[in-house]
Amino acid sequence: MIVIDADGHVEESTAMFSGLEKKYYSRRPIALSFDRDTAYGDHNAVWLIDGRTYPKVIGKGGVTYRTPTLMAAARQKPVSIGSQEMTDIATRLRDLDNSGISKQVVYPTLFLGPTTEDVKFEAALFRCYNNFLAEACSKSDSRMRFAALVPIRDVEASISELRRAKTLGAVSVIILGVAWERSLGNEELYPFYEEAADMDIPVCVHFGYGCPAITEAFESAESFNSAVLPVIMGFRSVMTSGVLETIQKLRVAFLEIGSMWVPYVIHQLKRGRRVRKDPAQYFKAGRVYVACEADEDINYVASWIGEDGFVMASDFPHGDPSREENMEEAVMARNDVPLSLREKILYSNPQKLYGL
């Protein structure tokens, strides 16, 4: 059967940033590596951007990536560097075949958190990223598509870049659970949402370090909290803001933190009378989606939101607990889950989400 991976990743490379605009080229991210016998261990490489290093692996505000791929942790993966970086699309497609994936929508890694306070420089980095992903995906015979990055602090610039990214082949736009100082339900973001809806582009809220204040509250070993909490905050903000009622064509997805949290949040919203409409109705209408994990209690979540709001992510080529080694095998082995729902998770729901 056709299997659509709703959320794969690219590990950003120096090749990506070689295309940065001339005005900003001297400030391009620089990959640095160092000995493994440091506190960084196998994560012995970082990006240097405007004098700061990313990821920050140690201490408060620490996070863990496997980009840049100079680090030992990246080179220990069972997939090639070219596949991880999407600089070798032929190998990447073979890896997708081995994982049972027919089509994949690609999300960033380095940009799962803020990298610069300079919004114009951030916009240039995102244009460079979108250009690279568009070029790489164009070599995949339509098997790979990408989620656009936009500088959401600047709504007008984000609208402009989303329009451009759409022409490049983007099928979604990624934002994090908190748009810097704005909650996702903030009315200042409505023009951006309206544009996304008019272009039939879903807004996908991804696991990530979108709220610097939350990130700085946790040690690196607790970075799971820093990346998950903003997504749940974003869900609550969207559901209580009225944006889905105001912008009738808007589709939103919440990716890479599982789905078991959804019933809890819906229950709390209804119990506190925080919503005018049962949030489950948006899932059932195909306007809100959540990425489930193969070993979750999918039937329980479905009893709350129905069958039409589930998608699934491989998280390939990441190696964290969100990874599904083979989505089709894992889902189809769930004989306790109705076949109709298993097929929707793997194909028809992500097809509708992304308009594929």
> DSSP labels for 205-265?
EESS---HHHHHHSBGGGHHHHHHHHHHHHHHHHHHHTHHHHSTT--EEEESS-STHHHHH
Q: What is the pLDDT of residue 118?
A: 97
Query: Would you place residue 119 in the very low, low, confident or very high pLDDT band (cuts 50, 70, 90)?
Result: very high
Query: Would you place residue 283 in the very low, low, confident or very high pLDDT band (cuts 50, 70, 90)?
Result: very high
Q: What is the pLDDT of residue 31?
A: 98
CA distance 319 to 46: 18
CA distance 84 to 87: 8
Residue 284 has pLDDT above 90, yes or no: yes
Query: Would you place residue 34 in the very low, low, confident or very high pLDDT band (cuts 50, 70, 90)?
Result: very high
pLDDT tens per residue across span 68-107: 999 999 999 999 999 999 999 999 999 999 999 999 999 9
Residue 276 has pLDDT above 90, yes or no: no
Residue 238 has pLDDT above 90, yes or no: yes
State how far Cα 219 lies from the chain centre: 22
Interaxial angle between packed helices 298-305 and 261-271, expressed in degrees from 0 to 180 and rounded to the nearest 10: 30
Strands across the sheet containing 45-49:
30-33, 45-49, 52-54
3-state secondary structure of 106: strand
Is the separation of the CB atoms in 313 and 6 below 8 Å? yes
pLDDT tens per residue across span 224-236: 999 999 999 999 9
Q: What is the pLDDT of residue 322?
A: 86
Query: Would you place residue 125 in the very low, low, confident or very high pLDDT band (cuts 50, 70, 90)?
Result: very high
CA distance 90 to 113: 29
Residue with tokens 């890694």: 109
CA distance 236 to 127: 30
Percent of the chain with pLDDT over 70: 100
- DSSP β-bridge partners for residue 312: 292
Residue 336 has pLDDT above 90, yes or no: yes
Which amino acid makes up residue 334? R
Give the Cβ contact number of residue 198 at 10 Å.
12
Q: What is the pLDDT of residue 180?
A: 87
pLDDT tens per residue across span 174-218: 999 999 889 999 999 999 999 999 999 999 999 999 999 999 999
Give the angle 93-97-102 at the CA atoms, nearest 5°.
Answer: 85
Q: What is the pLDDT of residue 45?
A: 97
Contacts of 97 (CB under 8 A, 6+ apart): none
Is the separation of the CB atoms in 215 and 52 below 8 Å? no
Percent of the chain with pLDDT over 90: 94
Q: What is the pLDDT of residue 8?
A: 98
Kindly tell me the sign of the dihedral angle through the C-alpha atoms of 152, 153, 158, 159: positive
Residue with tokens 């984000």: 158
Instruction: Give Cα separations from 71 to 83, 123, 139, 333 (angstroms).
Output: 15, 27, 27, 35
Q: What is the pLDDT of residue 48?
A: 98
Q: What is the pLDDT of residue 93?
A: 98
Tokens in use for 32?
């640095």
Q: What is the pLDDT of residue 153?
A: 96
Instruction: Name the class of domain 4-26+79-354.
Output: alpha beta
Which amino acid makes up residue 161? E
Query: Would you place residue 320 in the very low, low, confident or very high pLDDT band (cuts 50, 70, 90)?
Result: confident
Is the separation of the CB atoms in 78 and 145 below 8 Å? no
Across the chain, mean pLDDT equals 96
Q: What is the pLDDT of residue 319?
A: 83
Domain ranges of the chain: 4-26+79-354
3-state secondary structure of 305: helix
The whole model's pTM is what?
0.97
CA distance 354 to 105: 9
Q: How far apart are the first and last CA of the chain?
A: 16
Backbone angles phi, psi at 142, to 5 degrees: 70, 10
Q: What is the pLDDT of residue 83?
A: 98
Residue 24 has pLDDT above 90, yes or no: yes
Give the Cβ contact number of residue 32 at 10 Å.
13
Peptide bond into 191 cis (omega under 30): no
